[in-house]
Amino acid sequence: MKNISVSKEIVASEYLNLLYLLYCGEYNIVTPGPFKQGTYLSTTTCQVCSYASHNYEPFICLTLPIPSTNQCTLEDCFKHFNQDEYLINDSRWFCPRCQRLCNGRKRLEIYKLPKILIIQLKR
């Protein structure tokens, strides 16, 4: 049998396609149940009145940003993921209590993990 050279990107892409097909129930060899979604908790807080809005968002694949350093661990990627995002200038948030655009702070946290966690690293 010949050795076939395939890039890591192609293998990762094909693996993700297979997981998606399993999730959709295309293959009944493996139950797609474990690949069902987890939940993010997105909290946006008004910097003027401290009103906090909580939204729950489903996810299948957790996409983690890679910090701009030469080397990092998976733990560093999770810390970078949990950093607050400040909503200022053109990104201001409409506060339901103040009834106007206000500076805000947004935090994204993992509220519920799926049984099988798929992690994708952003470049």
pTM above 0.75, yes or no: no
Domain positions in the chain: 1-35, 36-122
Q: Cα–Cα–Cα angle for 91, 75, 18, nearest 5°?
A: 85
For 8, counting Cβ atoms within 10 Å of its Cβ (0-12 exposed, 13-18 middle, 19+ buried), the class is exposed
User: How does pLDDT run across 4-37, given as a tens digit for each residue?
Assistant: 555 677 777 877 887 777 767 666 555 555 556 8
Query: DSSP strand E in 1-123: where?
Result: 38-46, 52-59, 61-65, 85-87, 93-95, 100-102, 104-112, 118-122
DSSP 89: G
Give domain 36-122's CATH number out of 3.40.190.10, 1.10.3720.10, 3.10.129.10, 2.20.210.10: 2.20.210.10
Sign of CA dihedral 84, 89, 92, 97: positive
